Amino acid sequence: MTGLLIAGASPYGEEPADILVVDGVIAALGPDAARDERAADGEIVDAAGLVVLPGLVDLHAHLREPGREDAETVATGSAAAALGGYTAVFAMPNTDPTADTAGVVEQVFRLGEQAGLVDVHPIGAVTVGRRGERLAELAAMATSAARVRVFSDDGDCVSDPLLMRRALEYVKAFDGVIAQHAQEPRLTQGAQMHEGEVSARLGLTGWPAVAEEAIIARDTLLADHVGSRLHVCHLSTAGSVQIVAAAKQRGTRVTAEVTPHHLLLTDSSAEGYDPVFKVNPPLRTPADIEVLRAALASGVIDIVATDHAPHASQDKETEWDNASPGMLGLQTALSVVIATMVEPGLLDWRGVARVMAEAPARIGGLDDQGRPIAVGEPANLVLVDPAARWTVRGEDFASLSRNTPYEGMELPGRVVGTYLRGRCTASAGVVAGVQV
Ligand code: DOR
Ligand code: ZN
């Protein structure tokens, strides 16, 4: 039996160590690995100077299939994910048809298996058609081949408090979680960007922070009442951080995510009216960013999730009011986290592993992802060159869409290789043998 020897990489940026992978599992680690006879005639990857982390796990991505295969497919989204260092991705259900039945979630799950680049875990819709009227068949999705554990109407809020209560009650039976897109619809009718000084100047209808905070306050109280798990998607305001912190303090079963774009970009980006910066929830203020970064460092915010939202050019390259909200994220997330959290000293590599792999796997109920780099664990790994810098070119992305807000920006840190159960899925910008 031959193995794969990843030689000289630094697990979590610490002391360099050799890693021997046999049959998709870490078989030896450290000085023993290179001496192991199974390393003798296997492949050797020279990883000196590279950091090795657990393969990244994205709890929030839009892969658009079925229905909008012109914007993204499960296969192209999987390729973008592998290139971004991910080994597992959760796919949001705002597809056409909506992923609100066992049939559709199984379809997405199988497409993920066929692409074979990352583990694709469908998220099920909370309500039928995401219309917020009645609960979807959550148990049927949970017991399907896709074994759905995360449910969300993302793109829209489950705004009816009774439906939200029932959903929380329902998923308790199988330790599922409701991932809420926190947006009070009445407070955000026609909203185009963060409500503040910039929106007033630009004459765009504002999306006030309180529209997010009111729902998070309500839902943490409902989660207390029901004793169930709530996950808050894409936290974007300082006030939301306060509410989640207070809930955690009193023992609420709540977790929260922040996106890379909410850690880096502000509402001033809207000044050129370029819809590539239109996103929901909207980009906020520098003061919000500071609080979000601190909360991610302290653990009040548990994870980084991309909210990768590909849009075809006809939906995005139009006037601001009519453009679809959302931005690409999978191929830039790690670099943006390095720029916003690692370089300023807010997170070390252990911290990056925690917020981008370990915690998202735990929240999503995966027991074979986000695992420690240790003997006996599945070899889901990402090699990162921490010294590299690169310039973002949307046209080079594996994604079918081009709506990156980082076009032309130089970012730190480069994914050099991604391994799914010991198999290389992306290497130096090339995915599974195909140049993209
Ligand atoms: O900006 C966004 N885009 N926010 C969402 O909640 C949905 C997403 C999409 O599906 O494009
Ligand atoms: Zn959302």
- Domain at 420, CATH number: 2.30.40.10
**247-257 mean pLDDT:** 98
CA distance 38 to 3: 5
Same domain, 169 and 259: yes
CA distance 291 to 181: 20
Among 337, 363, 389, where does a domain finish? 363
Q: What is the pLDDT of residues 31-58, one digit of tens each?
A: 889 899 998 878 999 999 999 999 999 9
Helix (H, G, I), strand (E, B) or coil at 304: strand
Amino acid letter, 293: R
Q: What is the pLDDT of residues 113-131, one digit of tens each?
A: 999 999 999 999 999 999 9
Same domain, 129 and 249: yes
Same domain, 104 and 137: yes
pLDDT at 62 over 90: yes
**304-308 mean pLDDT:** 99
Among 363, 390, 416, where does a domain finish? 363
Q: Which ligand is nearest to the CA of 72?
A: 1
> What pLDDT is recorded for position 41?
79
- Averaged pLDDT of the chain: 97
> What pLDDT is recorded for position 188?
98
Indicate the pLDDT class of residue 432, thresholds 50, 70 and 90. confident
Angle in degrees, 0-180, between the axes of helices 238-249 and 209-226, rounded to the nearest 10: 10
Residue bearing the CA closest to ligand 1, atom 7: 155
Ligand 2 centroid to residue 62 C-alpha, Å: 10
Same domain, 12 and 148: no
Same domain, 252 and 393: no
Q: Which residue has the tokens 């079918």?
A: 400
Indicate the pLDDT class of residue 243, thresholds 50, 70 and 90. very high
- Based on its alpha-carbon atoms, the radius of gyration of the chain, rounded to whole angstroms, reads 21
Indicate the pLDDT class of residue 337, thresholds 50, 70 and 90. very high
Q: Which ligand is nearest to the CA of 179?
A: 2
- Identify whether 282 is part of a domain: yes
**251-265 mean pLDDT:** 99
Please report how many Cα atoms fall inside a 13 Å half-sphere around the Cα of residue 30, on the Cβ side.
5
Ligand 1 centroid to residue 153 C-alpha, Å: 11
* Test site for ligand 1: of 152, 154, 278, most ligand atoms within 8 A of the Cβ: 154
pLDDT at 433 over 70: no
Give the domain extent around 217.
55-363
Ligand 1 centroid to residue 49 C-alpha, Å: 37
Q: Which of 107, 83, 92 is nearest to 310 (CA)?
A: 92
- Identify whether 370 is part of a domain: no
Same domain, 193 and 278: yes
The percent of residues above 70 in pLDDT, for the chain, comes to 99
Q: What is the pTM of this model?
A: 0.98
> What pLDDT is recorded for position 73?
98
- Identify whether 275 is part of a domain: yes
> What pLDDT is recorded for position 2?
74
Positive/negative CA dihedral, 289, 295, 296, 297? positive
pLDDT at 363 over 60: yes
pLDDT at 436 over 70: no
Q: Write out residues with Cβ below 6 Å of ligand 1.
A: 62, 94, 154-155, 181, 279-280, 309, 324-326
**21-29 mean pLDDT:** 97
Which residues belong to the active site? 307
What stretches of 62-199 adopt beta strand conformation (E)? 86-91, 119-122, 150-151, 177-180, 193-194
> What pLDDT is recorded for position 434?
55
Same domain, 93 and 230: yes
pLDDT at 143 over 90: yes
Integer distance in angstroms from the first to the last C-alpha of the chain?
A: 32
Question: Do 213 and 188 form a contact (C-beta atoms < 8 A)?
Answer: no
Cis omega (within 30 of 0) for bond into 97: yes
* Test site for ligand 1: of 62, 183, 235, most ligand atoms within 8 A of the Cβ: 62
Same domain, 274 and 408: no
Least-confidence region, from 88-97, 158-167, 426-435: 426-435
Q: Number of folded domains in the chain?
A: 2
**336-362 mean pLDDT:** 99
- Domain at 104, CATH number: 3.20.20.140
pLDDT at 435 over 50: no
Q: Which ligand is nearest to the CA of 262?
A: 1
Ligand 1 centroid to residue 407 C-alpha, Å: 19
DSSP secondary structure code for residue 276 in this structure: G
Same domain, 337 and 252: yes
- Identify whether 118 is part of a domain: yes
- Identify whether 16 is part of a domain: yes
Same domain, 259 and 399: no
- Identify whether 371 is part of a domain: no
Same domain, 304 and 400: no
DSSP secondary structure code for residue 354 in this structure: I
Joined tokens for residue 220: 């943490």
Residue bearing the CA closest to ligand 1, atom 3: 326
Ligand 2 centroid to residue 82 C-alpha, Å: 22
* Test site for ligand 1: of 159, 279, 401, most ligand atoms within 8 A of the Cβ: 279
Atom of ligand 1 nearest to the CA of 181: 6
pLDDT at 185 over 70: yes
What is the number of residues in the chain? 436
- Identify whether 207 is part of a domain: yes
Same domain, 327 and 419: no
9 DSSP β-pair partners: 17
Residue 23 Ramachandran class (φ > 0 left, ψ -120 to 50 alpha, else beta): left
Q: Residues whose CB is under 5 A from ligand 2 (ion)?
A: 154, 181, 233
